[in-house]
Amino acid sequence: MKFFISNDIRNNTLLKLIVVLTLVFFLFLWLTNLLLYLKIGFSYESIVDYYRGSEESFRQPKSYLGLLEESHFHFFSMAIILVTLNHLILFSKINNLWKLIIIVASYISAFGDIAAGWLIRYISPLFAYLKLGSVIVLQISFATLLVLVLVFLYSEKDNNLRQFKA
């Protein structure tokens, strides 16, 4: 665990390999996530139809149990993914304000993405805008985190690194 709280992560070849391979899995997660959203669609109407159903396309509304199972899985998996990636960017050379923005944006957009389905289904279709915005911000912040961690791992060891101060 000491490698995740110091610069030594870039000096340990096996740990670096583990992180890079994890990033590859996260990249495929990001891609498949994007493809799933393409299935739903990036329009207000398609998002509302996905969650509230549509008589024209014979689509049933998302069920309570379906939303509950989806939320249960996503709350756990997004927490693990985001804590991993956000923790690793703490060691990157970007300034703390940008780190704060990326961290907050990634968590809020992930929460908004999960919560919006419930809100669309049971409160108002207007929450489709929250879903759409959250998906876009989550995809951008997730991709940014992946790139920043990869750049950190392969940047010059001392010249480009700023120490994280707790």
Of 115, 146, 120, 111, the closest CA to residue 28 belongs to: 146
Give the pLDDT confidence score for residue 40 in this predicted structure: 84
Which pTM value belongs to this model? 0.81
CA distance 88 to 152: 9
Tens digits of pLDDT across the chain (166 residues): 454 555 566 667 788 888 889 899 999 999 998 898 888 888 899 899 888 988 888 889 899 999 999 999 999 999 999 999 999 898 888 899 999 999 999 999 999 999 999 999 999 999 999 999 999 999 999 999 999 989 888 886 644 444 434 3
Position 165 scores a pLDDT of 40
CA 16 to the chain's CA centroid: 21
Question: Which pLDDT belongs to residue 157?
Answer: 61
> What residue segments make up the domains of the chain, in order of their start?
2-154
